[in-house]
Copies of this chain bind each other. A is one copy, B any other.
Amino acid sequence: MDKSLFKHKIEHTVRFHEVDMMSVVNNAVYFNYFEDARIAYVRDLKKLYNMQELLENGSWFIMAHNECDYIEPAMMDDELIIHTRVPFVKNSSFGFEHIVENKKSCKIIAKGGGVVVHINFATNKSIPLPEEFYTALQDFEAEVKILRKTPQS
């Protein structure tokens, strides 16, 4: 993962209850960080591009896949930056990539990502992402692969 490709970030200071018996942030807690980052990313993108359809009228995202590589430990009170990008988008799903960095030492703490699926909350079926989302990603991201099988014409 090339950090220069990441255009979105949130910051988080490690809280006491996130740290385990070994005095480091518990491995599962990184997925809370990724979730916070995803939610902030979508909210910020929605605002920036004035999106009207995304996550409206019962459209929702669910996780299909999650992963994390742990590189350095994070400790209580560490200030972390969670960098986020969307590397690809398909018809009704897209990927997230994250780099967790220690703000002070600039060390990379963890890398990870996930895949989310766009569904109709009532039917629980995957539905196509709105056109405005592709447009926004192509403008916002330094590099994003559009992998739609049947692009709207």
A residues touching B (Cβ–Cβ < 8 Å)?
A: 15-17, 19-23, 26-32, 35-36, 39, 60, 62-70, 73, 76, 114, 121
Contact = CB atoms under 8 A, between A and B. Distances in A.
Contacts of A15: 32, 35-36
A68 to B, nearest CB: 5
Q: Could you tell me the dominant secondary structure of chain A's interface residues?
A: mixed
A61 to B, nearest CB: 10
Copies in the complex: 4
A62 B30 CA distance: 14
Count chain B CB atoms within 10 A of each CB in A21, A60, A114, A121 and give the residue with the most. Answer: A21
Contact of A19 (B21, B30, B63, B70): B21
Count chain B CB atoms within 10 A of each CB in A17, A29, A64 and give the residue with the most. Answer: A17
